Structure 1
Amino acid sequence: MNEILDIVALVLVLLGALLCLTAAIGLLRFRDVPSRLHAATKPQVLGLLLIVAAVALALRSWAVAAALVPIVLMQLATAPLSAHMVGRQAYRNGTVEEDTLVLDELRDRRDQP
């Protein structure tokens, strides 16, 4: 049973590292801000969750699992919030290509603080 859990943990670490790598490549390759924000948040958060699950499986300790819970909660709370704030500021600065937006809900409020 221990070998099976170790193999599952190894697969989870590899998948998590692959997702984090794709997030880094997406940050370098994508041109516009919304695409970069998507690459910075979604695969990176899922990659971290997979790595945290692998660590919890590999160490098989409730104390370790309890220590990993705040890490997951902080990541889930801060990544979408920071991406939202960066995207909103990029829109206000005019660095977002408006012709690529499908729906522009901020067009009427652009001049307001």
Structure 2
Amino acid sequence: MNEILDVAALVLILIGALLCLTAAIGVLRFRDVPSRLHAATKPQVLGLMLICLAIALSLRSWPVVAFLVPIVLIQLATAPLSAHMVGRQAYRNGTIDETGLHVDELAESKRTPPAAGG
């Protein structure tokens, strides 16, 4: 049984590392900000989760699991938040192609200045 868990941990680490690698390549290769944000968050978070699962399977210890769960939860909380903030700032700077947006919820706030009160 230990050998099966070790092989499963190795496979999970390999898949997680490949997902993190594809996230890094996507950040470098994609042209627009939304595509880069998608590449930076989705596969990277899944890759980290798979690597944490592999560590838990490999070490087979409840204190390790208790240490890894907050890491995964913090990553799940901060990755979408940081992507949202980067995307919003890119929108404000005008570096996003607005013709490619399906829904533009910030168009009204862009027309009125923040200090205008409207």
Gaps of 5+ in 2: none
Runs of 4+ residues deviating >6 angstroms: none
Match of 1:108, SS state, is: helix
Give the distance between the partners of 1:70 and 1:105, measured in 2 at CA. 33
Report the equivalent of 2:46.
46
AA in 2 matched with 1:34: P
Give the distance between the partners of 1:109 and 1:49, measured in 2 at CA. 37
Length-normalised TM-score, structure 1? 0.97
Give the distance between the partners of 1:77 and 1:101, measured in 2 at CA. 25
Report the equivalent of 1:34.
34
Report the equivalent of 2:89.
89
Identity between Structure 1 and Structure 2 (%) = 77
Give the distance between the partners of 1:66 and 1:106, measured in 2 at CA. 40
Aligned residues: 113
Where do 1:1-113 residues align within 5 Å? 1-110=1-110, 111-113=112-114
Gaps of 5+ in 1: none
Give the distance between the partners of 1:90 and 1:21, measured in 2 at CA. 24
Alpha carbon RMSD of aligned pairs, Å? 0.8
Deviations 1:75-107 (A, max 9, x none): 011000000000001000100011111211111
Deviations 1:44-83 (A, max 9, x none): 0000000000000000000111011111111011000000
